[in-house]
């Protein structure tokens, strides 16, 4: 019987020499491929021993560590559904995700066990484990008693492997359901398209990836981890991004992936030079628009051309600039700044006008996509899912763009009201909802404005109820007490009125224009 379990494909790509180093952490720990195999087997056996029903979700909110990655791989191996949660989420946010996903298992840090377990048990979760970033916690204690042999659970390509929550422009967050097949097809395509190699490189074993992104979103969890594992490549593992240390690691690495903010921060380091990057084969950027200034400056400072690609939680990667001139992809040799490159080989992409017409080359419209990487739908939201797909099966991304005569895709904006700050998505509707509930607030609008470090940040504009005095600092402090820190607007203004059109709708474009020079 064939097994389409994503873990099996990743495991099959481990190098023959299981004693070779698979992961080297920033603070000097080394994990061999055998260590990864054994550790994922032990955690998978622990999950099996809990007798969970098929399709059970394993929700995880822990600091980044190799063991957190092991937990992800073990969940796949055991055939359950992984649900990663941003460590910045606070109790109201976690309460929603756990209530909505009804996970059978929740794993959190020891420090958060009190409040997280309370939420989890209330929602019917049976098992709450802890996992800390120093290799302690009940999960590993329990797994230590398990066998280090495990046969990966049989899964079909269409079976669920992960749920990623993505906030909505209206209403609550939606859980994007990704299958084993979605992720494996994307990983295989990218291995080929980005020219991953198992030979040459700093230690003769091929590519080495510097992993410096968080592992609760598509970029760090799927694109980076699957990319390295499906090629049997070593990772240099950084618990937290640090520009100086990333640059120092480049001497023994070949591939780096980051959101634009990471590139901006490295450009501020004098140690970023041609010499420091001479070993590197490929710099990849995505999750947010890469400014052409960053693209050009990087080229001048390092001699390397950043490869920008575009993706989403619902679809993993959709388009990419080319890695190199490749005969199979005629005419696709140049990485063009300001574009996100070509639809990946098995992705079909179309640009649609407001009237639903497919637009010709050069015209701007809504981007729709189809392919084996496109998700199965939103968790327990059939109507929402139906709304976001066309009758012929294209997914409406909510991004606005165009395709030029050579086939390069450019994202020019978004039809969804979304701010992307340092690679994290912030939905104004969610923040406005919180502000509007505050005492003395009549109304509010949150808009994204340009920021030199985060690319874009939120600014809140608030109207007080008649006869009430509101303090911007107090509004921000109250938000901070309830929401993940990256969602907090960087500035707040209390004003007399908001600009409106004839229909009475707030004109956010005018607010964005008014506050564009703030940072
Ligand atoms: C931190 N802060 C942010 C922020 N990150 N504010 C806005 N946007 C962000 N992204 C807050 C902090 O809480 C702090 O607030 C203040 O801003 C300064 O923080 P910092 O110390 O400068 O931040 P740092 O911890 O260094 O984190 C910055 C960062 C991080 C860029 C390293 O945000 C990051 O890792 N971003 C990557 C996100 C990512 O992986 N996205 C991929 C999504 S997948 P205070 O008040 O506490 O001082 C996806 C699909 C695809 O989109 O295509 O890939
Ligand atoms: P998420 O919901 O976190 O997966 O974010 C996906 C969104 O990030 C996409 O819909 C785009 O709006 C944006 N995005 C990802 N990559 C790029 C890119 N290279 N350029 C511009 N926007 C991007």
Phi, psi of 189 (to 5 degrees): -60, -45
Q: Is the Cβ atom of 163 under 6 angstroms away from ligand 2?
A: no
Q: Report CA 443 to chain centroid distance, whole Å.
A: 31
Q: Is the Cβ atom of 217 under 6 angstroms away from ligand 1?
A: yes
Q: What is the pLDDT of residues 298-320, one digit of tens each?
A: 999 999 999 999 999 999 999 99
Q: What is the pLDDT of residues 212-262, one digit of tens each?
A: 999 999 999 999 999 999 999 999 999 999 999 999 999 999 999 999 999
pLDDT exceeds cutoff 60 at 330: no
Cα–Cα distance measured from residue 78 to residue 48, given in angstroms and rounded to the nearest whole number: 7
pLDDT exceeds cutoff 70 at 168: no
Tokens standing for residue 171:
């209403």
Which parts of 379-468 fold into alpha helices (H)?
382-388, 428-436
Report which of 102, 104, 106 is spatially closest to residue 115, judged by C-alpha positions.
106
SS3 percent helix, strand, coil of the chain, rounded to 5, is 30, 25, 45
CA 27 to each of CA 67, 194, 248, 252: distance values in angstroms, whole numbers, following the listed order: 15, 29, 13, 15
Give strand pairing partners of 395.
369, 389
pLDDT exceeds cutoff 60 at 326: no
Mean per-residue pLDDT, 25-32 = 96
Cα–Cα distance measured from residue 130 to residue 118, given in angstroms and rounded to the nearest whole number: 13
Secondary structure of 135-152 in HEC code, one letter for each residue:
CCCHHHHHHCCCCCCCCC
Q: Which residues contact 353 (CB under 8 A, 6 or more apart)?
A: 359, 363, 365, 366
Q: Which pTM value belongs to this model?
A: 0.97
Best mutation site among 259, 321, 481 for ligand 1, i.e. most ligand atoms within 8 A of its Cβ? 259
Q: Indicate which residue's Cα is closest to atom 21 of ligand 2.
A: 289
Q: Domain ranges for the chain, please list them.
A: 6-240, 315-414, 419-515
CA of 424 to the centre of ligand 2 (A): 9
Cα–Cα distance measured from residue 141 to residue 76, given in angstroms and rounded to the nearest whole number: 20
Q: Is the Cβ atom of 287 under 6 angstroms away from ligand 1?
A: yes
Q: Indicate which residue's Cα is closest to atom 7 of ligand 2.
A: 312
Tokens standing for residue 290:
């890469």
CB-CB neighbours of 466 under 10 Å = 7
- The string of DSSP letters for 224-281 reads IHHHHHTTT-EEEE-SS--HHHHHHHGGG-SEEEE-HHHHHHHHT-TT--TTTTTT--
CA of 240 to the centre of ligand 2 (A): 22
User: Domain 419-515: which topology?
Assistant: GMP Synthetase; Chain A, domain 3 (3.30.300)
- Give percent of the chain above pLDDT 90: 94
Tokens standing for residue 476:
């921000």
If you ran DSSP here, which 8-state letter would residue 222 be given?
I
Cα–Cα distance measured from residue 447 to residue 203, given in angstroms and rounded to the nearest whole number: 48
H or E element in which residue 355 lies: none
Cα–Cα distance measured from residue 306 to residue 391, given in angstroms and rounded to the nearest whole number: 37
Q: How confident is the model at residue 177 (pLDDT cuts 50, 70, 90)?
A: very high
CA of 411 to the centre of ligand 2 (A): 9
Q: Is the Cβ atom of 218 under 6 angstroms away from ligand 2?
A: yes
User: Domain 315-414: which topology?
Assistant: Luciferase; domain 3 (2.30.38)
Residue 20 buriedness (CB in 10 A; 0-12 / 13-18 / 19+)? middle
Mean per-residue pLDDT over the chain, rounded: 96
Q: What CATH class does 6-240 carry? A: alpha beta
pLDDT exceeds cutoff 80 at 1: no
CA of 457 to the centre of ligand 2 (A): 15
Q: How confident is the model at residue 74 (pLDDT cuts 50, 70, 90)?
A: very high
Tokens standing for residue 97:
């995700």
Residue with tokens 């139906």: 386
Q: How confident is the model at residue 329 (pLDDT cuts 50, 70, 90)?
A: low
Asked which of 163-177, 381-395, 448-462 is least confident by mean pLDDT, the reply is: 163-177
Tokens standing for residue 51:
């007798």
Q: Is the Cβ atom of 455 under 6 angstroms away from ligand 1?
A: no
Q: Which residues contact 443 (CB under 8 A, 6 or more apart)?
A: 436, 462, 463, 498
Q: Is the Cβ atom of 164 under 6 angstroms away from ligand 2?
A: no
């Amino acid at each position: 019987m064939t097994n389409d379990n994503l873990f099996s494909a990743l495991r099959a790509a481990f190098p023959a020499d299981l004693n070779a180093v698979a992961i080297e952490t920033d603070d000097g720990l080394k994990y061999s491929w055998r260590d990864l195999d054994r550790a994922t087997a032990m955690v998978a056996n622990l999950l099996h021993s809990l007798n969970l029903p098929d399709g059970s979700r394993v929700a995880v909110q822990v600091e980044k560590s190799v063991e957190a990655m092991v937990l992800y791989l073990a969940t796949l191996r055991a055939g359950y559904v992984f649900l990663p949660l941003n460590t910045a989420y606070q109790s109201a946010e976690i309460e929603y995700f756990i209530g909505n996903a009804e996970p059978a298992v929740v794993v959190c840090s020891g420090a958060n066990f009190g409040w997280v377990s309370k939420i989890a048990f209330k929602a019917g979760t049976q098992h709450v484990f802890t996992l800390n970033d120093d290799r302690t916690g009940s999960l590993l204690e329990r797994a230590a008693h398990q066998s280090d042999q495990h046969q990966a659970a049989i899964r079909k390509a269409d079976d669920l492997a992960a749920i990623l929550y993505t906030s909505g422009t209206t209403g609550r967050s939606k859980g994007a359901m990704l299958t084993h097949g979605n992720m494996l097809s994307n990983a295989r395509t990218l291995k080929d398209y980005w020219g991953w190699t198992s030979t040459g490189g700093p230690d003769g074993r091929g590519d080495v990836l510097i992993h410096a992104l968080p592992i609760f979103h598509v970029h760090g969890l799927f694109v980076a981890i699957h990319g390295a594992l499906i090629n049997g490549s070593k990772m240099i593992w950084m618990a937290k991004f640090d520009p100086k240390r990333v640059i120092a690691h480049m001497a023994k690495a070949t591939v780096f992936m980051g959101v634009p903010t990471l590139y901006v921060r490295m450009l501020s380091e004098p140690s970023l030079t041609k010499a420091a990057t001479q070993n590197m084969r490929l710099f990849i950027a995505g999750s947010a628009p890469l400014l052409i200034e960053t693209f050009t400056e990087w080229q001048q400072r390092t001699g390397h051309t950043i490869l920008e690609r575009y993706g989403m939680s619902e679809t993993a990667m959709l388009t990419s600039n080319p890695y190199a001139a490749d005969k199979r992809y005629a005419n696709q040799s140049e990485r063009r700044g300001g574009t996100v490159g070509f639809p990946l080989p098995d992705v079909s992409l179309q640009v649609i006008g407001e009237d639903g017409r497919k637009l010709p080359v050069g015209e701007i419209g809504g981007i729709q996509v189809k392919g084996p990487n496109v998700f199965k739908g939103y968790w327990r939201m059939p109507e929402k899912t139906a709304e976001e797909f066309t009758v012929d099966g294209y997914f409406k991304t909510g991004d606005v763009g165009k395709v030029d005569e050579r086939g390069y895709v450019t994202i020019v904006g978004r039809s969804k009201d979304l701010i992307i700050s340092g690679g994290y998505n912030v939905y104004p509707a969610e923040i406005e909802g919180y502000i509007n509930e505050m005492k003395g607030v009549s109304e509010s609008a949150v808009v994204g404005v340009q920021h030199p470090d985060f690319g874009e940040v939120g600014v809140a504009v608030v109207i007080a109820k008649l006869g009430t005095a509101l303090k911007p600092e107090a509004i921000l402090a109250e938000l901070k007490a309830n929401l993940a820190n990256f969602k907090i607007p960087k500035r707040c203004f209390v004003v007399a009125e908001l600009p409106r059109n004839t229909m009475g709708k707030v004109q956010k474009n005018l607010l964005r224009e008014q506050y564009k020079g703030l940072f």
